[in-house]
Amino acid sequence: MLKATETILEIDLSALGHNYHYIKSRLKKETKVMAVVKAFGYGSDAIELAKELVNLGIDYIAVAYVKEGVALRDAGIKAPIVVLHPLPINFDILIDRCLEPCLYSTKVLNHFIKIASKKNQIDYPVHIKFNTGLNRLGFWKNDVDRVVKKLKETKALKVISVFSHLAASEDLSEKEFTLNQIKTFKDISENLIKSIGYKPMLHICNTSGILNYPEAHLDMVRSGIGLYGFGNSEKENKNFKPVATLKSIISQIHIIEKGETVGYNRAYKSELESSRQKTATIPVGHADGISRAYGNGKGWVTINSQKALIIGNVCMDMLMVNVTDINCNEGDEVIIFGELHTAEDLTEQIGSISYELITSISQRINRVICRK
């Protein structure tokens, strides 16, 4: 393992492979996998991850916005790329770069047909999204006839898949709601297939859907967080390996007296007698994605296998930790999150989720690709 000499986000491609194979082991052989690499690959490195996923045999790649798909094409990724939430302003470039749009409303469908027809497209691959309860993006159940009519009027589009998104797949107390979403989706897609006369692929499961609803794997599943190493439950987390480790070093150590304070607003005050209080300053702050919410003892880092609580307020570019009882020196390595002390462990302290922390790590932190 690489020893840090500055703040880095280490990306372990072996962990990605492990997670991919674990997800595959939960699927039927013929079920396809769409890897979701939106938001810079959940804050890791979308290009390096996409390349590795292609090597691993991924069927589809998904991003949220057109710009993210363009970056993958610029990097030479040739796999099919689905854009989950394209906006009409970007349809021209989407077609120019062979990205596949999700069409989710009448306005968006009509606009896409117009642009695709103008560009003389025939059977351009598209994905139709239905809303079954998340109430975020998608056609409604009673839009099916209208969508089919539009699709039949044009030769420009070919529906590659029909899909929906689960609202609470990780929450087993919402099982009845989820099963209802799955049932609604099956009714919608059956209806649509009957009317368009061919069978697109069907998919509804995200990572927790894959783990909790095997009966809903259908033709394809979409995994994001699982590939990055989280299973959204204590039990499933054991089967995954976090891909990203945020590491830094101790840039300075201070010994402070009783009554002295640490950081902005003097939020931490030492109560320890006679030069016993020792603090370490770490070059990573809220501008790097470590929220102020982790300050004042909510969050911690690991130094020489020991837990060092964050003291005072997190600053923009650095934070301070309590190392009074830790044998450490300036230059020593610091783990902010990783395999043992995970992003999820940290986010639990502030009522957030792993997704939020890993996608927040700022682009000024170097990504270092490795295979452990």
Ligand X SMILES: *Cc1c(COP(=O)(O)O)cnc(C)c1O
Q: Where along the sequence are the contacts to ligand X (CB under 6 A)?
A: 36, 38, 84, 165, 206-207, 222-226
Instruction: Look at residues 9, 7, 60, 11 and name the one whose alpha carbon lies nearest to residue 228.
Output: 11
- Phi-psi sector, 202: left (phi>0), alpha (psi -120 to 50), beta: beta
Neighbour-count burial of 339, counting CB atoms closer than 10 A to its CB (0-12 exposed, 13-18 middle, 19+ buried) = middle
Report the residue number, 321 or 343, with the smaller CB distance to ligand X: 343
Instruction: For strands 124-129 and 99-103, give the pairing.
Output: parallel
Q: Which is nearer to ligand X, 36 or 151 (CB)?
A: 36
- Measured CA to CA, the distance from residue 216 to residue 218 in angstroms comes to 5
Closest CB to ligand X among residues 236, 295: 236
The angle that helices 144-152 and 175-196 make with each other, rounded to 10 degrees, is 30
Residue 129's identity, in one-letter code, is: K
Q: How far is the CB of 183 from ligand X (least distance, A)?
A: 19
The dihedral region occupied by 276, where left means phi > 0, alpha psi between -120 and 50, and beta the remainder, is alpha
Q: What single letter denotes the amino acid at residue 217? A: H
CB of 20 to ligand X, least distance (A): 13
Q: In sequence order, what DSSP letters do the residues of 321-357 get, joined into one string? A: EE-TTS---TT-EEEEESSSS-HHHHHHTTT--HHHH
Nearer to ligand X, 7 or 207 (CB): 207
The values of phi and psi at residue 307, to 5°, are -85, 125
Q: How far is the CB of 181 from ligand X (least distance, A)?
A: 13
Q: Minimum CB separation from ligand X for residue 238, in Å?
A: 17
* Least gap, CB of 166 to ligand X (angstroms): 9
| Structure-token match 């099956």, residue found | 186
Give catalytic residues, as residue numbers: 38, 264
The nearest distance, CB 48 to ligand X, in angstroms, is 18
Residue number of the CB atom closest to ligand X: 224
CA distance 341 to 305: 10
Closer residue to ligand X in complex, CB, 41/224? 224
Q: Which is nearer to ligand X, 72 or 334 (CB)?
A: 72
